[in-house]
Structure 1
């Protein structure tokens, strides 16, 4: 079985009796091809995680990721589990072949396979597709097929052809090519094996279609369930919001402290996001929106040794750490590209294929950060990037870098490993500013006026920004009422009542 990679929004099913609804990619659509050290606190937090995770982990993940989809697990062929699975599958199909070639043929395995295929076909139907359901039940009547098998008259090729025709009607257009390839297979065992594999993909398509259809309900269920369970624990442990309160207090204080600048770097970033609420900034206190946005940004810089993580975000901590790691990678990637462009010239960096290749090389080499000190890994990055620039300049007939420039390029790239590196600091500030703007303006509007150094990673920033928004939005929907009450104590009443967090 292969992975299900496609997950495109589905079309409405249409009239079931006029024909099957054909999924665009993943479901039915159309027929036509057109902490603190306090033990009680620790126990409460542990209870929160254990109680909520069992039900809401998947639904909240679906709610936060509109592109969420299930995938068939693919085992590495070299793994023991993968080899065992492949051996067992081959043994089954070899046994089926032996049975069909026997004299007289033995159809016992074929009947079991046809029974499972029938169940899969029926599972792909929508509730209103009664005509097709009756047709499949009649064509694959297991009692009748069993009688035919006992009399040696089971026509496997004919049944396979019928199944292929039905798959053509029910599959997503993205599966059409796979189904058409099956039509060219004459060996009955190979054909049945191919049918079974493609049906597995179609079944996963239906699962993803169902997930998409139920996403609003799953999201609402997750919100209500998480909030109810948290409230139960809060009733037993009134101090359960202590860390959350400190988190928001720190965010409010941070807003009064300007970001440090790096005067040696060109085009140092502004420290404010051009939003309506900030346009009239001055001595006035920050709004709840600004405080909460700053708080979420601070989570991306959280010290792993700091146990006072906000109670309301404990279940999202792993996802926040993933976003933090992705942000760090983008900071290094953009810094490498900025330094490389300063040595390559506009002609070379004006070539999208070159930039894409340099990004692929850098991303691949950055994987070594997981197993090697960043300083050592950046040495490999600097040498590889330098060689790529040298070769590309040569291929385009441009002047190659001098030995001094090459040494300077390698040195500057290596220095990116230091977090205090000026280029890296500026890029880091700009990405955080971008994420802050995403929370206020949305991803698309924030992408309209990217500062220098970020335009080369626009696609990666869009992905990061959307993930960050999805996570923060879900958390606000769950815990908005608690945040509103806390912020009322941090911000003057008139300002605090301006916007309730739960409605952000």
Structure 2
């Protein structure tokens, strides 16, 4: 054992500075003390070089492990080298290895726990709802932009205020310098003037020494103030008095406290009364006189008017909504001018101080004069436009009163004219004075005369121009019925009948033709229409159209009769019918009238029959005879038509031309017959009007007794009107119960002022003869409401005054709607909407956007006007205002109240947006008034009976 060599010392290779543990696959080399590397023995190499493991440890795990550390390698080598000798170290090595493994497991568990926490936080963050980054960024950008804009606006406002302040200071500094220079110059001039006066008084210079003697030890000599002459003293006194006067005037004005804030805080009524106070007007006039502002208002007749015009600026700034009826460009410009004037005036007053003897600089006075003149110009333009609208409204009121007077002036029996005369005259004088004040004497007279002339011409427009009296008529032989009124006079001997088709030549054709020509209404209708309208005449147009249709059938039948060989029979029938008609036109003449005898002989049926049997009857001679007879029978205003027909009847060719000329002859005879009927009606009209109420009352009583009619619809109509009136009266004043007149007026207004078509079930039996008139009133109501809504929308879009009358546009639109009759196929670009738009654009230019909006409004409102279902708010409001206006005028109980309602009717309609329809609404009210008067005069007893029944039923229902 002693001879054994000690084991060779094994030295491990040096490790990296970071003590990284090498991988197991890396080669380990052992070097001796000399530093030579050599391969370890096989048994040692087998211990160190183990089979490769595919799972590589991470760098962090290798770096943290102590298996590859220097101490570990050394311990392993020592263990392997000295196993036999150092068995005790083996247990310690394994203990260290176990502790290292435990610590590694602990680190891995901590890492796994940390990873699990990270996964849990990621899952929670993912599951939490979060907003869009883009929205957050947009919101943040918007807030930043608003903050930046606010900062920019604040900085700009600050710069503007600073600039204004600098400008104002510069202006004040310059004004002060100018005033100081002026005062210095005045003082210098006054000093020079004083020296000049002293020099003039002391022409000789006193003799003195070259050097002034010293006055030591002597008392100072006090010189007396220089003596002023009368002119200088007067100037000083006047200057001091003027300064004191200006100070006193400005102090009085300051005591009033008249500022924009005070005007704005005070109500319109209170500030209006304050500004019209004589004391305020006097003090303000003095202030304006100090600054010579009265000279700018050249249109003012006196100082009071000029002062009121100036104080209007305060009223406009404080209460623009009460002063202006609309917010247009002209109103906004006037507000701006008033603001400039008030600001400049208050600045001038504030700069009137003791320093400048209460007299601001010339620049300030010039700015004030310029602002005042600009305001007066804008105020005058606005006032002239507003005055024109007021003048039109008041002229319309004057014309309405004149129309009422024209209606009642001929009533001398009932004393209606006496009741109305005083009220109409007083109201017309009040309106005339206002018109003359606004428009002047000459222009007021011209406007009123022109309006009255047009109104009366429109009332007479239905009458034909010229003499309507037939040449052979004799009014003295017309015998109306007796005054007892047992029955109305029969105007014509013929009655309405339908044409019987001629089937045989035995004379039945003549009987059928004889019943053709009279289409006169029955007696009750005639008396009723005359009672409502004294100038009523049978309308030629509809009756002429009906007769033309019947004549055309007769001529066609005559043509077929000629083709079938029945020409002689038709010729005798036609001659007999024309003879009877012409003799009827001459029936009131004398028996020995030569023209009557000539017609009887030439058109004698037997004579015509003999001519036809002999074959010598000539239509050419017949037409020539008629051409010579008709001018002697017609009225003078038909001369041109009759002469044209006579020229056309001279020649004819074939059968077709003969039948056509015969048709024209029948048409002319029909017109002459209608003219003669109207002449007879005009002759007996006074007697019929006088007996109309009694005759209609008796006729209604006969129909009621015979069971032809009942009062069921009248009771239902009266009950509905009573419920409506009582409900409204309870809502306003329960103590004021409505009268029967109010109930009747409400029922009549509900019946006539409506949007839906008239149904016969809704019409009471007492008003059945007025069905066509009430239907016309309903159509007028719909037309007024629709056109008024369109015009009101157009005025608001164009920023025009709603009180200004667009009469031409309203008339054109009404004609378009009346012609179209609300046809559904015309509601298009090429229909009613386009034509209405053309009527508006022809007088008022409008932008494309305004035009499109107005076009849409028209297209939207047309179907509502067609169906009568008003859903548009504007149309509903206009309809309610129109019905309330008509009911207010129709429900007036006395003549004075009716006159007052008529005098303010134009202003009320203009304020409601219906300024263009003052005349049309006046005609509707007048027509309903006449209907009410005639109806209650004829059926008043039945209305009282129905009222008592309805009232009794109401009391029974209330008790039950």
TM range (shorter): 0.5 to 0.7
> 1:461 Cα shift?
3.2
Tell me if 1:294 matches 2:746.
yes
CA contact (8 A) 1:333 1:359 kept: yes
Structure 1 residue 178, shift from structure 2 partner: 1.8
1:310/1:361 CA distance change after superposition, 3 Å: closer
Residues 63 and 219 in structure 1, CA contact (< 8 A), matched pair in contact too: no
Q: Deviations over 1:157-203 (max 9, x none)?
A: 44433333332122233432221112222215365443222112222
Q: Per-residue deviation at 1:122?
A: 0.8
TM-score by length of structure 1 reads 0.62
Contact kept, 8 Å, 1:362 with 1:381, in 2: the verdict is: yes
Partner of 2:816: 361
* CA shift in 2, pair 1:98/1:471, >3 Å: same
Match of 1:249 in 2: 722
Shift of the alpha carbon at 1:480?
Answer: 0.6
| Superposition deviation, residue 293 in structure 1 | 1.1
Report the equivalent of 2:781. Answer: 327
What do residues 428-483 of structure 1 show as CA deviations (whole Å, max 9, x unaligned)? 13432443325656899848842213342345435534543344334323321233
Work out whether 1:429 is the aligned partner of 2:889. Answer: no
1:327: Cα distance to partner?
Answer: 2.0
Structure 2 counterpart SS, 1:184 = helix
Asked if the contact 2:718/2:946 (under 8 Å) is kept, the reply is: yes
Aligned to 1:117, the other structure's residue is in SS state helix
- By relative contact order (CA 8 Å, sep 6+), the higher-ranking structure is 1
Instruction: List aligned pairs for 1:69-84, cutoff 5 A.
Output: 69=538, 71-72=542-543, 74=545
**3-state DSSP of counterpart to 2:789:** helix
- Residue 152 of structure 1: how far off its partner (Å): 5.5
Q: Secondary structure at the match of 1:182?
A: helix
Unmatched 5+ stretches in structure 2:
1-460, 479-490, 493-520, 653-657, 952-960
> Residue in 1 aligned with 2:790?
336
1:198 to 668, 677, 682: 668
CA distance in 1, matches of 2:899, 2:585: 36
Query: Does the Cα contact within 8 Å between 2:532 and 2:930 map onto a contact in 1?
Result: yes
Q: Cα gap change, 1:429/1:237 in structure 2, threshold over 3 Å: closer, same or farther?
A: closer
Q: Could you report, residue by residue, the CA deviation over 1:16-50 in whole angstroms, capped at 9, with x for unpaired residues?
A: 579999xxxxx99xxxxxxxxxxxxxxxxxxxxxx
Q: Which residue of 2 aligns with 1:497?
A: none
- Change beyond 3 A, Cα 1:410–1:150: closer
* Offset at residue 111 of structure 1 (A): 4.2
Tell me, in whole angstroms, the C-alpha distance in 2 between the residues paired with 1:219 and 1:62.
11
Aligned residues: 414
Show the counterpart of 1:123.
584
| Alignment equivalent of 2:697, drawn from 200, 223, 238 | 223
TM-score when normalising by structure 2? 0.35
Match of 1:469 among 929, 932, 952: 929
| Contact preservation (8 Å) 2:697, 2:938 | yes
| Aligned partner of 1:389 among 840, 857, 867 | 840
Q: Structure 1 pair 148/431, CA: closer, same or farther in 2 (3 Å)? A: same
Question: Aligned ranges for residues 350-499 of structure 1 at < 5 Å?
Answer: 353-365=808-820, 367-368=822-823, 384-386=835-837, 388-390=839-841, 392-393=843-844, 398=845, 400-403=846-849, 405-413=850-858, 416=861, 417=864, 419-436=870-887, 437-438=889-890, 440=892, 446=902, 449-450=905-906, 451-452=909-910, 453-458=913-918, 460-485=920-945
Q: Would the alpha carbon gap of residues 149 and 240 (structure 1) be closer, same or farther in structure 2, given more than 3 Å must change?
A: closer
- How many Å separate the matches in 2 of 1:149 and 1:321? 53
Contact 2:789 2:878 in 1 (8 A): yes
Q: Could you tell me whether the CA contact under 8 Å between 1:443 and 1:462 is conserved in 2?
A: no
CA distance in 2, matches of 1:461, 1:305: 19
What is the aligned-residue RMSD (CA, Å)?
5.4
Aligned to 1:175: 638
Structure 2 Cα separation of the partners of residues 444 and 93 of structure 1: 65
Q: State the partner residue of 1:35.
A: none
Describe the shift of the 1:226–1:251 C-alpha distance in structure 2 as closer, same or farther (beyond 3 A). Answer: farther
- Whether 1:187 and 2:651 are equivalent positions in the alignment is yes
Task: Return the index of the structure with the highest Cα Rg.
Answer: 2
Q: CA deviation at 1:121?
A: 0.5
Deviations 1:133-154 (A, max 9, x none): 3342234334344445555655
1:412 is displaced (CA, Å) by 4.4
Call closer, same or farther: CA 1:463–1:202 in 2, change over 3 Å.
farther
**Secondary structure at 2:676's aligned position in 1?**
helix
Change (3 A) 1:380 1:421: farther
CA–CA distance in structure 2, aligned partners of residues 299 and 173 of structure 1 = 43
- The corresponding residue for 1:496 is none
Using the TM superposition, give the Cα deviation of residue 204 of structure 1 relative to its aligned residue in structure 2, in angstroms: 3.0
SS in 1 for 2:574: helix
Q: Distance in 2 between matches of 1:138 and 1:338?
A: 69
CA distance in 1, matches of 2:713, 2:813: 48
1:196 and 1:485, CA in 2 relative to 1: closer, same or farther beyond 3 A? closer
CA deviations on 1:253-303 (whole Å, 9 max, x unpaired) are 1552679xxxxxxxxxxxxxxxxxxxxx99654444333212222334689
- Segment drifting more, 218-227 vs 315-324: 315-324
Measured after TM superposition, the shift of residue 401 of structure 1 is 1.5
Residues 164 and 386 (structure 1), Cα distance of their counterparts in 2 relative to 1, 3 Å cut: closer
